[in-house]
């Protein structure tokens, strides 16, 4: 790890002012991706701005048909929250399946979304539920937030403060894990609610994306069979040592069918 300055602000305002002042300073949430990259000397920012002491970025609550999760909520907190378990059980289960116990106790939803790893789980939930990402500046719709591989709509000096999820009628997330990292080789989040169906796919491409052909079929007929008839094209999907694009395309179909089954079973 290269040397860096360390800041631990107590408010969003203070954090932003440091981030604006120190060029290339990096915000630090749970650090589950950033710290390893520092240790491997893959990055070496001049300063870290640890968000951990900012109380206003914490907390989980349900209000007016929507669930709001503070950016600093850990995966373990989301998994255990009664509001999440009752409001969006699929989200609780997704959080409970991220990484391992240590990662879940340290990693945060805000950190995961800002990092936007193409194989992360949370982006599938945010896009698959049509959530809204709140920052210190604005509210960003999920459809506009994820812009590419490790890329988001966040501007320099902008940090996520919370995420708001509409409560769906039903939803489910099914993933096949990459066997070594246990990130999603392919993960599919399916939801139905507010008259719309969403199908979000993570792990398969360079960035989380919506499978609109499946959404259309499911809107007509929310059954596994409806999904089974959609042919997923491997073009633009990832090929690496763990899976070819062709296999990932196949798994998108299997995961989507199983997610619909699970959502219907209401388990």
Partner 1 sequence: MNAPLIGQSVKRKEDQRFLIGSARFTDDITLQGQAHAHFLRSPHAHARIRSIDIERARSAPGVVAVYTGDDLAKAKVGGLPCGWLITGVDGKPMKEPPYPALAQGKVRYVGDRVAVVIAETLNQAKDAAELIEVDYEILPAVVKAADARKSGAPAVHDIAPDNTCYVWGLGDKAAVDTAFKSAHHVTTLEFINNRLIPNAIEPRAAVASYSRGDDAYTLYVTTQNPHVERLLMTAFVLGLPEHKVRVIAPDVGGGFGSKIYLYGEEVVLTWASRQVNRPVKWTAERIESFQSDAHGRDHVTKAELALDKNGKFLAMRVTTTANMGAYLSTFSTCIPTILYATLLAGQYTTPAIYCEVTAVFTHTAPVDALRGAGRPEATYVVERMVDTAARELGIDRVEIRRRNFIKTFPYQTPVALCYDTGDYEATLTDALKLADVAGFEARRKEAEKRGKLRGLGYSTYIEACGIAPSNVAGALGARAGLYEAGEVRVHPTGSVTVFTGSHQHGQGHETTFAQVVADRLGMPIENVDIVHGDTGRILFGMGTYGSRSIAVGGTAIMKALDKVIAKGKKIAAHLLEASESDIEYDRGTFTVAGTDKKKSIAEVAFAAYVPHNYPLDKLEPGLNESAFYDPTNFTFPAGSHICEVEIDPATGATRVVNFTAVDDFGKVINPMIVEGQVHGGVAHGIGQALLEGCVYDPQSGQLLTGTYMDYTMPRADDLPSFKVGMRETPCTHNPLGVKGCGEAGAIAAPAAVMNAVIDALAPMGIRDIEMPATAERVWRAIQSAKAKK
Binding positions for partner 1, 167-206, rule CB under 8 A:
176, 179-181, 183
d(CA 193, CA 182): 30
Nearer to partner 1, 42 or 220 (CB): 42
Find the largest Cα–Cα distance for the chain.
Answer: 57
Nearer to partner 1, 33 or 136 (CB): 33
Q: Any contact of residue 2 with partner 1 (CB under 8 A)? A: yes
Nearer to partner 1, 180 or 265 (CB): 180
Q: Which stretch binds partner 1 (CB under 8 A): 23-31, 76-84, 193-201, 242-250?
A: 242-250
Site track for partner 1 across 142-171, x = CB under 8 A: ------------------------------
d(CA 244, CA 90): 28
Minimum CB separation of residue 114 from partner 1 in Å reads: 20
Q: Residue from 52, 242, 245, 261 that binds partner 1 (CB under 8 A)?
A: 242
Minimum CB separation of residue 260 from partner 1 in Å reads: 14
H helix runs in the chain, sequence order: 12-21, 34-39, 75-80, 82-87, 89-96, 101-106, 109-115, 122-128, 142-145, 212-220, 224-228, 245-265
d(CA 44, CA 22): 14
d(CA 27, CA 230): 41
Q: Residue from 35, 213, 245, 254 that binds partner 1 (CB under 8 A)?
A: 254
Break the chain down into helix, strand, coil percent, rounded to 5.
40, 25, 35
Q: Residue from 4, 150, 222, 247 that binds partner 1 (CB under 8 A)?
A: 247
- CA nearest neighbour of 122 among 36, 203, 181, 242: 203
Q: Residue from 18, 251, 256, 259 that binds partner 1 (CB under 8 A)?
A: 251
Q: Residue from 8, 26, 210, 250 that binds partner 1 (CB under 8 A)?
A: 250
Look up residue 153 and give its two tokens: 């709509």
Look up residue 219 and give its two tokens: 């809107």
Q: Which stretch binds partner 1 (CB under 8 A): 80-88, 120-128, 212-220, 243-251?
A: 243-251
Residue count, binding to partner 1 (CB under 8 A): 18
Binding positions for partner 1, 27-66, rule CB under 8 A:
40-41
d(CA 23, CA 2): 16
By the criterion CB under 8 A, which residues form the site for partner 1?
A: 1-3, 40-41, 176, 179-181, 183, 241-244, 247, 250-251, 254
């Amino acid at each position: 790890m290269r040397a860096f300055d360390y800041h631990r602000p107590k408010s969003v305002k203070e954090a932003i002012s440091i981030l604006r002042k120190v060029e290339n300073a990096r915000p630090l949430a749970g650090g589950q991706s950033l710290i390893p990259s520092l240790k491997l000397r893959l990055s070496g920012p001049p300063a870290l701005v640890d968000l951990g002491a900012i109380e206003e970025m914490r907390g989980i609550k349900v209000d007016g048909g929507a669930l709001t999760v503070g950016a600093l909520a850990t995966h373990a907190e989301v998994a255990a929250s009664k509001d999440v378990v009752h409001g969006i059980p699929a989200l609780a289960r997704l959080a409970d399946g991220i990484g391992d116990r240590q990662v879940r106790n340290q990693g945060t939803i805000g950190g995961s979304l800002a990092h936007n790893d193409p194989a992360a789980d949370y982006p599938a939930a945010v896009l698959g539920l049509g959530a809204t990402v709140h920052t210190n500046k604005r509210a960003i719709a999920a459809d506009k937030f994820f812009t590419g591989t490790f890329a988001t709509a966040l501007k320099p000096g902008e940090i996520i403060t919370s995420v708001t999820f509409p409560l769906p009628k039903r939803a489910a997330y099914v993933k096949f894990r990459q066997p070594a990292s246990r990130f999603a080789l392919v993960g599919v989040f399916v939801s139905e609610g507010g008259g719309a169906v969403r199908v979000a796919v993570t792990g398969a491409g360079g960035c989380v994306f919506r499978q609109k052909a499946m959404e259309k079929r499911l809107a007509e007929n929310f059954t596994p069979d409806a999904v089974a008839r959609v042919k997923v094209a491997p073009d633009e999907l990832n090929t690496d040592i763990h899976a070819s694009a062709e296999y990932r395309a196949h798994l998108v179909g299997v995961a989507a069918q199983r997610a619909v089954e699970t959502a219907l079973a209401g388990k």
